[in-house]
């Protein structure tokens, strides 16, 4: 009769975003991480 909070959150998440949106979010996060760490790497290399 009553769903737990985690069950309700899972149902809301599934209803609000499609698989393509989730994959796009993960891809964007990966690109941003590569840019940040790449910038730090090249910044340190420039200081040497």
- Determine the pLDDT at residue 43: 96
Where residue 6 falls among pLDDT bands split at 50, 70, 90? confident
* Domain boundaries defined on the chain: 17-47
Query: How many Å apart are CA 23 and CA 20, to the nearest integer?
Result: 5
Query: How many Å apart are CA 8 and CA 21, to the nearest integer?
Result: 20
- Determine the pLDDT at residue 25: 93
State the pTM of this model: 0.61
């Amino acid at each position: 009769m009553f769903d737990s909070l985690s069950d309700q959150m899972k149902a809301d998440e599934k209803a609000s975003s499609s698989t393509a949106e989730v994959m796009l979010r993960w891809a964007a996060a990966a690109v941003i991480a590569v840019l940040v760490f790449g910038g730090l790497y090249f910044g340190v290399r420039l200081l040497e």
